Chain A
Amino acid sequence: MTKGPLVLGIDTGGTYTDGVLLDYRSREILAAHKSLTTKRDFSLGIEEVIRQIEIEDPDAIRMVSISTTLATNAIAEGKGKRVALLLIGYDPELIESFSLDKRFATPEYHYFNGGHDLYGKEKQPLDLPAILAKVNEIKDQVDALAVSSYFSPLNPEHEQRTLNAIEKICDLPVVLGHQLSTRLGSVERATTAALNASLLAVLQDFIVAVRQAMERRKIEAPLMVVRGDGTLMSDEFAARTPVETIHSGPAASAIGGRFLSGLDDALVIDIGGTTTDFALIKGGRVTISEEGATVGAYKTSVKAADLLSIGIGGDSHIRTDHEGHYLIGPGRVVPLSYLAHKHESVFQRIKALSKRTWEQSSPDWLEYWFLLREPAESHLKLSARQAGLIELLRHGPLPVPEIIRKLQVLHISQLGTDELFRQEILGRAGLTPTDLLHTDGRFVRWSAEAAEFALQSLCRYQFEEPEVIRDRIWKLMSESILRTTLSFLTRLPELEQANSDENFGEWFFLNSLYAMHPDLATSLNLRIPIIGIGAPAGLLLKDIADKLHSELVLPDHYHVANAVGAVGGSVMVEEEILVYPVFSEAGLDVIAYRVQSKTDSDEIEDLEEALMLARETAAERSLSAAIRSGADQPQVTLSVENDGIDSYRVRARAMGNPRLMR
């Protein structure tokens, strides 16, 4: 049977790396595979996926496309490179009085004279000597520089002159704010530039690693990277604008859900191992957040899919607080059923634990630590206790109370293990929703027996029956997902769990779920279907769809929808040009219009002519960049947006399917 062009989609998520091989024309999925994400070197997990897919003819593959949480995770975990942010024309007092400096995403920022005003006029001369002196002073302590000048989208001259000068005195990569965003928000632009600078090396290494994995598997095809809004960019483009990959994973899963289901309007809920993500499909497209993506504490000006994420997934850690209430997440652990499946010693310990008396079976015994890999000597200086712990765990995973006893410490915090977990030297296992699914037989892949023993131990400690505990946990998870659904759709802050006798919102919510009132029924009606994505979706979302009186759609291959989404997007390049008036010296008359693109500017007397030039330039540039990025016969759409008196934003968007020819 002859196939059309094949494409390979890969998604590297927080827990799993998924891959699918797809016939691009018929949309038929030929092979799919899931493997564990290897955070210390993503290319290992990626190569494993490619290997498992068993590609017969690598030559038939015409595109590889990849979505990744790399950027998002690097920001959240503070693993980006060190960046110095040079702020030109920013008012330090203003910034500091609103504590905006906390949002710059780097502790190393410096203020300089210069910048423009909102008419694009020079506010102050650029203090280049001061900038160069500072760069000389700090250049050995940082890995990259970011430059943001006041109102640079209107007039990037100071940023550009700064770049030209810095490039002549040092070899650090330099990122300019106006190249990343034409929005005028100066703090967001600075943050975006700083984040982009800190991610440059991270994403470049990643792309080089993926290419190597491809070449080792004899795949010679263009590599695309998914943006946060679900569109595709070429790998070279991504290497320069890594910040645009923020949220690319969840965007890909929403697009994959739409691709597989064929639905044009739906709520997409993706339950992964670590998080549950929400996105909305309207008219066949993922909705975009115009105001810019937020990652961790940082507000950026990067356009990305409008989405919400909560730290609840199949592998979320189930614990109890001091009053015996159950807690789920946000931490992710390895399910006990899996650990016991891998280690006989763990199975035996869990089995023995289930026979113990109440006093001897605190829930701590259900948390195991284990050694993932030996620490690289050069990387980390180990304390004596850390070394002792690693030595101890070399013989197999151990529950926390046993570790405490053997190492003779009073509390686990004395072991200084945070860094060991972060570097993936140690792993952590515990009771998870995945285990509970093993105990009621709904999802059995590893040791159901161990899961059963673990649940029994918890039952003994909590004086509750297994059904009751399972019920509690499912209820807790679905309530939490429902609360987030409501807040995602309404844009209202999430309902605080309050006393439902006093709080109407909370009462209404619970009454709609559990019909508490004898006479008054309330209900929630979601008017669009829910597309379920991710391995646990089929098991957990039915109840949620019922509560919302909506339909749950689980497309074929929904467990790898994100990898499908990685190839489902279009190649897109956007070019924005600003047109705004230039005033006479006296400041009263408009003498010309400035046509400002990211790279150059013109002044033209007549507004119509200026707009015409802007339209032509934007269209031409976006088109040629899209072709260069691998789009097949891209189409350009133009929009002109009024942006204040006599000011215009001309936006050209060139979009096309990926080119799959040789």
Chain B
Amino acid sequence: MTTNVQYLEDMPMDLIRIDTRKAYENIHKKITRLELAPGSVLNDQALAEEIGLELKTVREALSLLAHDGLVTFSEQGMYVSEINLAELEQLSELRLQLETFSARLAARRGSPDDLAVLEALRSEQASIAPDEMERLFDLDHKFHQAIAAASGNRHLARALEQLFGQSQRLWYLVLPELDFLPEAVETHLSLLQAINARDGDQAASIMHAHVKGFYDKVKTILSADDR
């Protein structure tokens, strides 16, 4: 008898105090951009002074980041979570599965609004010069998020969000040797075409190759560094 339309998606960040959110965003950026290197010790007091927010606030933000897997607490203190090959292996095998699944579901279930979003992101990405790496990266990230949202599975989107957060650092790590973002523009176009055509198999296979390509490159660079 009743139909219920729920408009609001959960926005947990909205319930967090604004100064904590500020601190969180600030430190998150420092970690993903490797200004705070993986494995480095975090001094909450120094951070509070640097950001210009209270110690209590910074500590709250750090525990949120620990929840995201970007910060690790130990007996000795706090440090930025490590990135190593073993970690990368685990991250990539899960992301590969989930993103492939996400693309398949998006092709099957994506709404016209979802497709409009994907198209807006793709055309914006296509209009950006290849040397504007940060903006291209930001759009790439948003494109993958939008596909996850288009899958219509909230839990899948949330799980992927955490993996994206981890992967961002990898991107900055390999940034100096990166040349595949412009080519990602092509891939995104064919991916979007597959989703538009409701071809789940095609979308899944493009996504699989896309994500695998990324991790393979990162792996090559990381193992070269290890040597």
Q: CB within 8 Å of B: which residues of A?
A: 128-129, 132-133, 135-136, 156-157, 160-161, 164-165, 168-169, 204, 207-208, 211-212, 215, 236, 239, 599-605
Contacts and interface: CB of A to CB of B under 8 A. Distances in A.
21 contacts: A129-B119, A132-B117, A132-B120, A136-B123, A156-B7, A157-B7, A160-B7, A160-B8, A164-B9, A165-B120, A168-B149, A169-B121, A169-B124, A212-B54, A599-B6, A599-B7, A600-B6, A600-B7, A601-B5, A602-B3, A603-B3
B197 interface: no
A604 B2 contact: yes
A208 B19 contact: yes
Contacts of B117: 132, 165, 168-169
Contact of A204 (B4, B18, B119): B18
Contacts of A208: 18-19, 22, 53
Contacts, number: 74
B3 A129 contact: no
Contacts of B120: 129, 132-133, 135-136, 165, 169
A605 B1 CA distance: 8
Contacts of A603: 2-3
B145 interface: yes
Contacts of B112: 128
A207 B53 CA distance: 12
Interface string B112-156: 110011011101100000000000000000100110010000000
Interface string B6-18: 1111000000011
Interface string B41-81: 00000000000011010000000000000000000000000
A600 B8 CA distance: 8
Given A161-B113, A168-B149, 4 more contacts: A157-B5, A164-B9, A164-B113, A601-B4
Contacts of A133: 120, 123
A602 B7 contact: no
Interface residues of B, number: 29
Contacts of A157: 5, 7
B11 to A, nearest CB: 9
Nearest to B17: A236
Q: Which of A156, A157, A212 has the most CB of B within 10 A?
A: A212
B96 to A, nearest CB: 23
B116 A165 contact: yes
A136 B121 CA distance: 9
Contacts of A211: 19, 54
Contact of A168 (B2, B19, B123, B146): B146
A600 B3 CA distance: 10
A203 to B, nearest CB: 10
A259 to B, nearest CB: 29
A541 to B, nearest CB: 41
A599 B8 contact: yes
Contacts of A164: 9, 113
B7 A215 contact: no
Contacts of A215: 54, 56
A654 B59 CA distance: 34
A215 B57 CA distance: 11
A136 B6 CA distance: 27
